[in-house]
Every structure is written in structure tokens, then in C-alpha cells.
Amino acid sequence: MVNVIGLGYIGLPTALMLASHGVEVIGTDYNQELVATLNAGKTTFKEKGLDELFQNALASGVKFTSEYQVTDTYIVSVPTPYDKFSKKVDASFVIDAVKEIMRVCPKGATIVVESTVSPGTIDKYVRPVIETNGFKTGEDINLVHAPERIIPGNMVYELLHNNRTIGADDKTIGNKIKNLYSSFCLGDIVVTDIRTAEMTKVVENTFRAVNIAFANELAKICRHDDMDVYEIINICNMHPRVNILQPGPGVGGHCISVDPWFLVGDYPSITKVINQSMTINDSMPDFVLNRIYEIMQENNINDIDRVGLYGLTYKENVDDMRESPTLQLLESQERHLAPGLKVYDPFITSDVVKNQYHDLDAFLSEIDLVVIMVKHDEIYENSSKLANKIILDCQNIIKSGNVYHI
């Protein structure tokens, strides 16, 4: 039996996928309201294919509780934020989970850490906690790192098809966990050491962050001299060895916007490119806010409450708001100016910010300038409703009308 610890965006789909493929699974989360919702037969976030996977897992006997279980295998999938000052990983949630596991686990149990951590975290924080409590790694408890590699909006497919990495002290234990993941994973699964597995996950997201930063900086250069960044990127990408990404209003989620900071925190003197790239990406919400005021002045819009932000989530067609550029922009606006921007997102049904609307037509009726922060399918399907609006299109999706870009 596998006890999955943490039933959020990664832990829940992992638990459901294992259960749906014949593995006995009990999911554990300290949030009793979340556990009650799952036990009532309801999922806790929206995701393509998740409800069907949930029903399959229920039929296979998956269970949910706030109690840690006595078993031989634990998968820890809890948050790993970073300290905003030091940029180092905050491993406290992982450490707390491991401490709770040690209260109940039998000798020889394996703890699989799925949470993304900086290279060396398990050696620096997890292993000492285990040994301080009288356990010996490799005998009493086996440690494994199996970083997740999925993206909101396509989780179910990617869980099935993405390649995986298993880091373990002992190859025999690594292969045992490989066999566990092979119950559902159709991709290649590589077994390596723990530190290498930690590093590869962080490097993957850092590579993406650096490439996004180049596109964002290019957008700033082109804005400074009134050039069309999108045309320039399209032409450059005709070169067989060039593939520039698209600029945007910022970077959100819990991967690209967070993981590269782990390297900056641990190696501050030698991560110059990474540090600058993250700084550029983090600056984009403020850059968009400046563009809003430029466009307001150009079009004689005097009231900030006649401006609306379309999109609260960090990416299209999901309800995930973690590190959302829109939330970052709103925080910046409230810090420097009187709040007033209106906000709407079809995927966020509860009130999470001031001046939030829950109907597209009502939202559009109250504004003159709409700022497209997220390219949900809804805005494509309703682009005709923007005909009489001034548009700041941060996603380059509106092809006609009074359109501005970042």
C-alpha cells in the first residue's frame, strides 16, 4: 500500500493515477476540509480528465484521510516555496511530513519525495532529521527523490506519458520505485542518484525561465524603440536554429517562477544569468502596469476603474492562481496607487480579489480598456465582444481592433 502525503495539484493526481492502475492507495492531507470534499466524491480543482480519473480511482478503492498510515511506501508531495529574501528553498513542509511518517512507519519503509527541491536538500535537511530521530537511512528508512514533471491543464496525459527520473541511494530501491511508477507511466524512467535527480528538475525549469526572460527583455527593447516584437520573433524563428519564445505579462505557477530561485539562493555568486533572468520575468507585471497608464493617457481614460484585467490564473484554461502575474500586478498597484482595476476570470468562481466580476458581459460593460493577461479559450470565442474596446493584448491573440501590446 502507498500513502500519498499532500493532496494538492501534484499529490492528488498521482494518488488517483496509482489507484486507477491497481495500486492500493490512501491519500493523506492535514486539510480536513479538503479530505472531506474528496470523501464526498468531489475533486478540489478543475483539470481536464481529472473527474474521470477520480471516479476510476474511487472504483478501485482509493481512500482519503488526515491520518498518516502504517505502510512500506510513502510519496511526499507537499509545497516547497522559497524564501523571498534568501531565495533558498523552504523545506519545512517536507521535513514536517517526514517527521510524521517516522512516527508510524515500519523498519525498511521507503520515503519518496516528489516535491521539487534544490540540489542537496535531501542531504542537508531530510537525512539529518531522520538520523537525529534515531533512524538510519538505507536500513530503517530508504530515501528516494522522484520529482514530478507535469503541467496544469494537461496533468492526466503528462502523468501517463512524460519521462520520469528516480533518484535513490540504492539502485535496488530505485528500481523498486521505478516499478511502482511503471504501473502507469508509459515514458522512460531513469534511475540515478538523489542529488542528480534534484538538480535535473531544477535545471529543466531554469532553462525555460531563462528562455522566457530573453523574450521578455526583447519585448522591452522593442517597446523602447517602437518596434513590433512579434514580427521580429516570427522572422527570427524562420532561421533553422532559432526558436524564440513569446513574451508575456509575467511568469506564474509553482515551477518556472520558483524553482530557478533555488539555484540563486544556493549559488548566489555564480548564477548571474539565472538571477537576471528571474528578475526580468518578475518585472513584467510592473511593466504591464506602466503600459496600462501609458494607454490610459493616450486615450484620455481618466479613471482606473474603467480598466479591467481579463484573467486571474497563471495560465490558460486552468483554475490555478499560484504566483499569478495578475495577482502580482494587483499587489503592485495597491502598493503604489489606489485600487480600482476590475478583474474577471471564468475559471475563478469565488471572490479572491477586489472588484472581481463573475460574468464576462457585466465585466466588459463596466470598462473601456481591457487587458488580456491570460489566453483562456473563452476570450477567443468571444473576441467579437471586444470590438468597441481599447485592448492591451499581453498574449498577442487579438488580430483586429484598437489593440496595443506590451
Q: How many CB atoms are closer than 10 A to CB 272?
A: 10
Q: Which of 201, 315, 342, 375 is catalytic?
A: 201
236 catalytic per annotation: no
SS3 content of the chain, % helix, strand, coil (to 5): 45, 15, 45
C-alpha span between 241 and 360 (Å, rounded): 41
Which candidate, 184, 142, 137, 187, places its Cα nearest to that of 167?
A: 142
C-alpha span between 210 and 260 (Å, rounded): 9
In the chain, count H helices and then E strands.
15, 14
Q: How many CB atoms are closer than 10 A to CB 162?
A: 17
178 CB-contact burial (10 Å; exposed 0-12 / middle 13-18 / buried 19+): buried
Q: Are 311 and 363 in contact (CB under 8 A)?
A: no
297's enclosing H/E stretch is helix 272-298
- Cα dist from 25 to 15, 38, 41, 113, whole Å: 6, 14, 16, 16
C-alpha span between 23 and 17 (Å, rounded): 9
Which candidate, 128, 124, 113, places its Cα nearest to that of 88?
A: 124
| Residue type, position 73, single letter | T
C-alpha span between 20 and 112 (Å, rounded): 19
3-state secondary structure of 382: coil
201 catalytic per annotation: yes
| Residue type, position 368, single letter | D
C-alpha span between 43 and 295 (Å, rounded): 41
Q: Which of 105, 222, 255, 394 is catalytic?
A: 255
Active site residues: 201, 255
